[in-house]
Structures are given as structure tokens and as C-alpha cells.
Structure 1
């Protein structure tokens, strides 16, 4: 077993007999080694192979000595070390009372955590531009996944089989002369592929390089040059690229394993049918140009106008982790006013609610009642200043602008000016409004969510999930 994971000196290594799994794990072992550091205590780590001075010393000697042994016989190694290394080594002292500690430089406390390592890898690896193009809801999942593998050069063509050491009579199914099958040859340069790309390239008035391009990513970039990705034509071209590659791959597999002949005309017919169905699912965000419309007409595709919503999408915003949010609303009935108040935490969980009614149509009275009750409850849980949110402009009321004397008196009595006030649209305050007008919720104060009516609980769940709603 050791010969698969270790060299002849007993150190972890990548050998000719290593498994495929070990070959995939090995780069991460190297990453962890480069980002780990030994803090010397007793000095039991390896002098040459371990990182204990900020980097691994070039292991010219493979005797496997420890740091303690190396420091004790440093004169024997001085000629192998640089002045900088000797200076770093001179600062390190052996401490028999302290254990050697291996720390991970990617965390503040030095402890290795899988989550931090994944974050490190994400920050280290540059974002790939084409991922935001192929992973869209209008792109079929199988097409997006296939393009992902194509761009990462991870399709099992003959070239890949050959590189694994498997020898055999390799021959491209798409060519009469039997060229060697690589990804670019199969999907772009093969006889069948050239006919398919040539047909659609002519319709799109697009000249594609058959030779002289770097790889499939470069080919994709040329295909999308001067195209607005969020327009209808841009979306069609991304889908068309995926369908062409996918259909060529399918007929290749059928020819290779079932012996069916490859017919470019049949491939083109399938792609045309698929792109028509695909076009019906699109929701373009950018207007089509006159040139776009001409090309869409050539492809026999129906033009889809940009749908602009009347309003904007909004949702209830959760408060910060150290704050509570109190939503209030008032509804006028025939001879009375009904008010509703909800207090929720940063997770959207309801902690307190109250619903009250007053005779007459004086909004100030019911506002004072529900706000006061909410503030009393907030102080009981050591939250002196919750965020007060409503679609009623309480900020203007607190400044005495455009409000009745009763409202101004209420604002001064509650000292609204010193509170954190938030003005939102009616749809963002919908749960408090539903509470105020709810017919199946009693008039009382409670922390029990089960006493709320079904209509109120429905909106509570929508707010908690962050569901958006169109606001005029």
C-alpha cells in the first residue's frame, strides 16, 4: 500500500503507481503544506521537509533528521544554507516544555477548518467569465453541464483515452480520412462539424476560425463577439452554441458505439427544432437591434419584446443581528380605527404582536397605543430602540410637517425623533397591514404566533423567505 502514497524514503509523494483519487488529492496536500507552518517547541518535526522557518528548506540532505538534531549539528549544514535562512534559524529556540504546533496560515487562530480552506481556494482562483453565461435558467441544465466539461477539456475523446495509457486504433468518426480525435477536432474541425458550423455561421453572418484558435473557450469567445448577451439574439447564440456541440457529441457516440453513419443534415434539422423550442422560453432584458431582427428572421424565430414590469420588485428587509424591527400599520373602518404592530428579529421570527381598535377615526390615538405597547415589550427584553418601520411617513410627523395637531402631539409624547424610523412602500409593510385588517385575528397582545390569522401567517412566512412582490 505504501508504494502508492510514499516514496522510497517514506515521505508522502506522487508516484507512478498512484491512484487517480490520490492524484486529485495531491495538489491540495501541496496547498496545505505551502500554507501551513510549524511553531517549534520540542523540535520533533523534520529539518529539511517541514516548513518551520516560513518556507521549506531545499532538502539537499534526506537523512530525515529532526529540527532539534539539525540545530544541534548546525555547523555541519551551514554551507548548504543561505544567510537569510541562517538568520531565521538563529531566532528559533528549542523549548522542551512546549509541544510542536502545526498552524494553518489561512485562519486567524491557526486552526485548520474545511470552510476556511474552501474560502481560500475560492479567493485564490480567478472567476471564469463564461460561467455566468452558461449557467442561466433559460439554458437547459444538460447543455450547461456539457459546455462546462467542454470548456474544461474534460470530454472523453480518443485523445484523453490515449493520455491514460490505453493504446488502440483511434480514428475520428466524423472524418473520412480518420483524423485523430481531440475535443477541438471533433466539435469544430471535423468534416461533420465544419458543415454544421458553416450552415449556422452563414445564417448568422459570422465567420468562425476553423484553425488557429486556442481552444474551445477561445472559439466560444469568437462566437459571441459583438453580441449583447442579454438580448434575444445573444441568448439564442449561447443556446445555439450549446446545442451544436451537444448534437455533434451525440451523433459521434452513436456512430462510435452503434455504427450509425453521421449525417450533418440530420444534425442541423435537430438543432433548428431545438432552437425554436428554446426561443419560446426566453425573457430578453435588452432590446433587439434592427440587425438582430434580420438574423432572427433568417432563423425563423419569433421576436420576443422586452417585458418591462410596471413598478419594482421589493421584499421585507430583515434588521441587523443586534436589532429588532417593529412594523406598524393602521386601517380605518366605518366608525373606528384598527392598528397592528409586529416585532421581529434578524431571522424574520415574530417575537411580539398586538392588534387594537379605537372608536372614531383618529389615527394618532391608535398609533400611540400600538407603538407604546411595542416599546414597552422591547424594553422588557433589553432592546431600548427598535427600528420603527411603516408605510406611514412617521419621519415627517416627528418633524411636525404635514400632520394634524393630534399626530404631532403623539410624536412628541413618544419622542419619535429620537427613534430609528424607516419609511417603506405599502407592499413591504404588507404583514402589518394584514394584521390590522385581519378578521380572524383577535384584538390582544401576544407572543403566540398560533393566535394569528392564516392570512397574516402567510405573509409572515413570505417575509421570512424574502419573497419579492411587485410594488407600483
Structure 2
């Protein structure tokens, strides 16, 4: 979401139609093209955010050439991106060669700029009007939804495993956001401030044996952090060599566990530990707190119990005792529900109509209370008629057939739902595709035809095999329920 907002800022800046874009260009890009301009720590956060997403967004902006007031080397007028990068031309950072300068004798001559590849100049015409940017994902104007999709693709390619794991369900947003800041190195600790030019005396307040106030010390190699990571890794039966916060998190996430509850805990524990280590750090540095490994372990266990309660709200709340939680996780199980289904005969004196819709055809198959064949048929749409209308006409004809034969008790069964004129007067039920296999097979075999079968001997060849399997029950696996044994 943040990168997509940065992409929108870059798009509005490159359009150059607002006073804001003109101001930003005069402030940061007076001598250098915006695509070639970097950033430093004295620049504003808005400009830095725009530059961070520039490499992802700029290739998606292609210019529609009109007057040719485009930079030959840095504007994406050819669809290849910035030619200075594509052709690996150095010394073009401050180049101001305009495309219209190469328009000679009614054609674009790239030799004027020292470019030998004339294929880039094909189908290019200079005409009246302002040059306009085009957002390639939509083929027109900028769209925030497409920008989010683009950023999501780049995140999956570049972000790695941590981008997926820190936003796991069950974790509060503040904890996930803190983990994002840790991995992006966006926290106000001494090693980060030192890169910005601030030199301070570095001393970590969160450990009994203080060290340098760095991200690696606070979340990984410090005395307090090392003891917390070691406690939970030993309790989970894992041996992890702690080197840095990123390394230990990846070790947690890539471990194999015997059931889903252990995996659920392993995916969320690193985020909870990072959060409680940061709370302990700020409490010691800005408050009057003292470092306590026991307090951190208790709070992490409590947060984990709350995550488990959010995932399985039907369970009794677990106490903030990690040993107890581990014992309950050992007894984690999954209850499977198997349901037997099959075609059932209608009650005595009635008939059952099984009907189905397949592509451009629909069909029906009617049997009596003894399971014997009565009548069947297939309808196909014609003269531009909608298939839903054809199905309604078919069901109406089935109802009229029952009335002519003095059959008022008719049960209509299908894996589809259709609202037709006699729907309130008949007994309708819905089943799955396997139970309705006879009607579906008949419809597929006679697709494109309009035919009634008044005798079972005239049914399509092969349908008798499906009828022979009609009495065999089907077993359907339904979603089960997670449970903890006592």
C-alpha cells in the first residue's frame, strides 16, 4: 500500500501538470533528469519515497510522442525504458537532448544523438500537442488498483519470505508493522542514525551486559535477546545458531513440524519476540524499567495464547505458560467428517426428476418410486434463446407431462438452483454433481439436440453403465474441526 502510494506520487510528478510537480522538479531536478536523480538524507521523506519506487514505476510509464519535448536518454519513449541505462551510456546524467532535435527531413534520425539502432525510430511521428504519459498496466491513466498489483509482484520477487510471514493472521497490526520496520531497518537506533550523519555514544540499555545500541544487538546478538531466542527454540525442540535477527527468523520459519498447530506457533513466535524485545528496549531506555528476560518470555507466551484464541475461538483460553501450551499442541488433532451420499428413490406414488445444465444444453431424467425409467429428454437453445430460459421451458414441460399422466407428486433434484414459475408448487432439492451424474451424462451425450426418450431402449449408448453405478454410495469428505484432546 505504501509503495502504491509512492507510485501515485511519481506518476503525478512525471505528468508535470500541477504546481506541486513543478516545484519538486525545480527543487530536486533543476540540472539532472528526475530518472537520474538520487537522494540523500537531507532530502524530504516524500522525495525519498518517490525515488525508492522509481525503478519499479518508471518502466511502466511510456510516453505518447507529440511535439517531442522528451529527453532522448531518460524518458521512456521507445518502450525500452531509459536508453542511457539500456544502451549502457555513461556521462548522460545531465544530458538534455530532446527528441524533437533529431527530427530531420520528416523523420527521426537517431544518428544525431550517436545511437546506431534506427529500429527504435520506426513509426514515430512529430505532431501538434503535448507529450502525454501512458500507464502501461491500464493502457491509459493511472489506476491505484493496478499499482498495488504491480507492487505486489515486485514484493513477491524481491521481498522474500519475511514479506509473507510478518503479516500472518492472528497478529495485531502494530506487531507486524514493527517487524516490517526491523527488516527494513527503519528504527531509531544508533547504527541507523549513524548512517544519517548523527554520531552518538552507543550503549544498549536493555541488557545486563550492555553493548552497542544496534539492531543486531537489540533483536539478535544481545544478552537479553539471545536468552529469549534460546529459551523458545529449545522449548520447540530446535537448535538454532543465533547470528542476527533476520537469520533466526528465517530459521524459525523454515523448520518442519509434525502438525499445523506447531507450524502456526512457529510462524508467529518470531514476530511476537521482536515486539516484546522492542517494548523492553523502549521501557529501559525511555522509562524506569530494568531488563528482565523472564518478563519478556511471559509476555511473548501471553501474546501467543491470544493468537491461538483468535485462530480457534471455540477452545478454552490457554494460560500464559509455554510448557502447558506445548503439551496441548502435542495433542492437536483434526476430526474428519465423512458423509455418505447417493441417489434415493422417491416415495411411493411419486416420481423424481433429475435435471442438469451443461454449456448450451440442459437435460432431465425421470424415474418412479421403484427406480424404473419413465421418460428423459434433452433441450438445446435455439434462435438466440438464453440457456436459463431453455431450462425453465424444460422444467415446465416436465410438469405438464406429470399433469397429463395424473402425477401431482413430483420431486425436482439437481446440482443447480433455478427460479421458475412452478418452483413453489413442487418439492425441490439440491444435491452434488456425483448424485446427479445420470442427468449430466445424458445432457453431455446429446448436447446440441432437442429430443425426448419415451423408451429406455432408445437411450444413448453407454448411459446404461452410469445407471448400473447408481446404487453405489458416494462418500464426501466435509471440512472437519480442529480439536485438542484433554
TM-score (structure 1 length as normaliser): 0.59
CA contact (8 A) 2:207 2:291 kept: no
Change in Cα spacing, 1:313 to 1:242, as seen in structure 2 (3 Å) is farther
Please name the residue that 1:219 is paired with: 248
The aligned counterpart of 2:53 is: 28
Alignment partners' CA distance in 2, 1:415 and 1:380: 29
State whether structure 2 residue 197 is matched by structure 1 residue 197.
no
Q: For residue 121 of structure 1, report the CA deviation from its aligned partner.
A: 3.7
**Are the equivalent residues in 1 in contact too, given 2:204–2:213 (CA < 8 A)?**
yes
- In structure 2, relative to structure 1, the CA distance for the partners of 1:138 and 1:362 (3 Å cut) is same
1:185 shift after superposition: 1.0
Q: What is the alpha-carbon distance in structure 2 between the residues aligned to residue 61 and residue 72 of structure 1?
A: 25
What is residue 220 of structure 2 aligned with on the other side?
A: 188
Using the alignment, how far apart are the partners of 2:168 and 2:181 within structure 1? 16
CA distance in structure 2 between the aligned counterparts of 1:23 and 1:376, rounded to whole angstroms = 61
Unaligned runs of 5+ in 1: 284-294, 315-328, 346-351, 400-405, 418-422, 429-467
Question: Which of the pair has the greater relative contact order for Cα pairs under 8 Å at 6+ separation?
Answer: 2
What is the match of residue 272 of structure 2? 243
Partner residue, 1:43: 68
What secondary structure, in the 3-state scheme, does the structure 2 residue paired with 1:256 have? helix
Displacement of 1:231 after TM fit? Answer: 4.4
Q: TM-score, normalised by structure 2?
A: 0.57
Query: The residue matched to 2:161 in structure 1 has which SS?
Result: coil
2:455 corresponding residue in structure 1: 409
CA 385–217 in structure 1, closer or farther in 2 if over 3 Å, else same: farther
1:286-325 correspondence to structure 2 within 5 Å: 301=328, 303-311=330-338
Q: Distance in 2 between matches of 1:123 and 1:220?
A: 23
Q: Distance in 1 between matches of 2:352 and 2:340?
A: 28
* Mapped partners of 1:161, 1:135: distance in 2: 27
Find the aligned partners of 2:147 and 2:250 in 1 and give their Cα distance: 32
1:56 aligns with 2:115: no
Aligned residue number for residue 437 of structure 1? none
Cα distance change, pair 225–40 in 1 and its aligned pair in 2 (3 A): closer
Q: Could you list the per-position Cα deviations for residues 398-419 of structure 1 after superposition, in whole angstroms to 9, with x for gaps in the alignment?
A: 49xxxxxx988369579998xx
Deviations 1:342-363 (A, max 9, x none): 8799xxxxxx9x9xx9997677
1:393 aligns with 2:437: yes
Spell out, residue by residue over 1:403-458, the C-alpha distance to the aligned partner (whole angstroms, 9 max, x if none): xxx988369579998xxxxx9x9899xxxxxxxxxxxxxxxxxxxxxxxxxxxxxx
Q: Against the structure 1 CA distance between its residues 159 and 226, is the aligned structure 2 distance closer, same or farther, given a 3 Å change threshold?
A: same
Name the SS of the counterpart of 2:77 in structure 1: coil
Q: CA deviation at 1:199?
A: 3.3
Distance 1:27 1:266, change over 3 A: closer
Q: RMSD across aligned C-alpha pairs, in angstroms? A: 5.6
> Residue 219 of structure 1: CA displacement?
1.5
2:290 aligned residue:
261
**Where does 1:436-451 land on structure 2 (aligned, <5 Å)?**
none
Unaligned runs of 5+ in 2: 1-19, 313-321, 392-414, 417-432, 444-451, 464-469, 481-486
Counterparts in 2 of 1:340 and 1:330: CA distance versus 1, 3 Å: farther
1:177-233 CA-to-partner distances (Å, cap 9, x unmatched) read 6433222211222222223233334444544334xx3x4232222345553274444
1: distance between equivalents of 2:387 and 2:479? 36
Q: Displacement of 1:249 after TM fit?
A: 1.8
- Aligned pairs, number: 382
- Report the 3-state secondary structure (helix = DSSP H, G, I; strand = E; otherwise coil) of the residue aligned with 1:50: coil
Whether contact under 8 Å (1:397, 1:407) holds in the other structure is no
CA distance 1:282–1:337, change in 2 (3 Å)? same
For residues 138-149 of structure 1, the aligned pairs below 5 Å read: 143-149=175-181
